Amino acid sequence: MINPGRLMAMARKEAIQLRRDTRSLILAFLLPVILLIIFGYAISWDVRNIKTAVLDQDQSAQSRELLEAFRSSGYFTFQRQLRSASEIAPSLDGVSVQLVLVIPPDFSSHLNAGQPAELQAIVDGSDANTATIILNYARAIVQTYSLKVQFQGRQVTPPLRAETRVWFNEELESRNFIVPGIIAVIIMIVGAMLTSLVIAREYENGTMETIRSLPINAVEFLTGKAIPYFLIAMTDVLVALAMGQLLFGVVMKGSFWLMVLASSLYLSVALGLGLFISIATKSQLVANQIALLVSYLPALLLSNFVFPVENMPRMLQFVTRIVPATYYIDIMNGLFLRNVGMSYIWPSFLVLLVMFLVSAASAVVKMRKEGL
């Protein structure tokens, strides 16, 4: 039986202790804001402003038209006009450009004769993902220009015309995906990493024996310990939502209350995990390191946030299924980008509910074994 008075007394005790801990307050309030700003501004998977050098050996109207197609696409920024092929290697070696376009001297003559003409694209492959995207952009522009030349001067309709439309993230902006993901990371920092210290602190301070003598049970003790961190983390979520909208223009399309429900459930999983770690280790240093390994890093790296799960080895794909952030990010993407309801995201809710029950039950059982 839970006694509300004892529960709130424990919550007040933890809030007073937290207020005196400057480092935890900084971690709880300042770090999430810093993370959101850094991730929002510094991290982007959009490849734009591709630094490009051009070696136009043809200097014809056709070559200038092709280069204008690259320039007007909005993805390529022409940095240098090369005079000879000997300047290509120094341009790429010095990382002054990412792409070199080489138009041979017979480019226009081949086009005028109705023969295939060549364009050489030399790309810096140091970053394989960026290089692949650059080459895809270049191929698309060349293909479009090729069709234009093919039907130029003829009253012929191209045999195929693609009408494309992007759903859910119409602007194709990484920030629309980053903001929901960073909220998942913020919750893990406050929910798991901070709470992993609270009970270990009692053991290190020698106050656990006094707590065992109090008329309080394990559920009241753990719930009271978790309440201040629950309120702090939910405040961080609301601040992150406001900052995402004001700084980055990221607006949630789905239900606000579904987001609150999902965040509360995910946070409860994080709190249960942090409390269990704290009870099991009894050391703040060890608890912090374990919480970093099992909560923050998986939420950042194994949740389909930074790296696509589909590209991971099968073993890691299996590991991602036990990472709570995987299901929370799936819910948040549905609410932020797709405007879906509970009928689409209930499986992720169900998994988080099961995880919460397991983590909370494990913490309670472990606490009772410690004599509370």
Summarised one tens digit per residue, pLDDT across range 170-220 is: 666 777 778 888 888 888 888 888 888 888 888 888 888 888 888 888 888
The reply to whether 56 and 183 lie within a common domain is no
Compute how many other C-beta atoms are within 10 angstroms of the C-beta atom of residue 154: 7
The reply to whether 197 and 87 lie within a common domain is no
Identify the band that residue 1 occupies on the pLDDT scale cut at 50, 70 and 90: low
Closest listed residue to residue 288, CA positions, set 17, 24, 38, 19: 24
Q: Alpha carbon of 56 to those of 67, 102, 112, 181, 240: distances in Å?
A: 9, 6, 17, 44, 49
Please determine, for residue 153, whether its predicted confidence score (pLDDT) is greater than 60: no
Tens digits of residue pLDDT in 247-292: 888 888 888 999 999 999 999 999 999 999 999 998 888 988 898 8
The reply to whether 334 and 209 lie within a common domain is yes
Tens digits of residue pLDDT in 325-364: 999 999 998 888 888 889 889 999 999 999 999 999 999 9
The reply to whether 213 and 85 lie within a common domain is no
The reply to whether 139 and 184 lie within a common domain is no
Closest listed residue to residue 27, CA positions, set 233, 329, 316, 277: 233
Domain total of the chain: 2
Q: Looking at the domain assignment, is residue 223 inside a domain?
A: yes
Tens digits of residue pLDDT in 76-93: 888 888 888 888 888 887
Backbone region of residue 217 per phi and psi (left: phi > 0; alpha: psi in -120 to 50; beta: other values):
beta
Pick the last residue of a domain from 96, 117, 150: 150
The reply to whether 26 and 88 lie within a common domain is no
The reply to whether 198 and 315 lie within a common domain is yes
Q: Do 278 and 191 touch, CB atoms closer than 8 A?
A: no
Tens digits of residue pLDDT in 100-135: 999 888 888 888 877 888 888 889 887 777 888 888
Q: How far is 132 from 126, CA to CA, in rounded Å?
A: 11
Q: Looking at the domain assignment, is residue 343 inside a domain?
A: yes
The reply to whether 101 and 199 lie within a common domain is no
Q: Looking at the domain assignment, is residue 6 inside a domain?
A: no
Q: How far is 186 from 194, CA to CA, in rounded Å?
A: 11
CATH number at residue 65: 3.40.1710.10
* Domain membership of residue 96 as a residue range: 50-150
Please determine, for residue 224, whether its predicted confidence score (pLDDT) is greater than 80: yes
The reply to whether 146 and 219 lie within a common domain is no
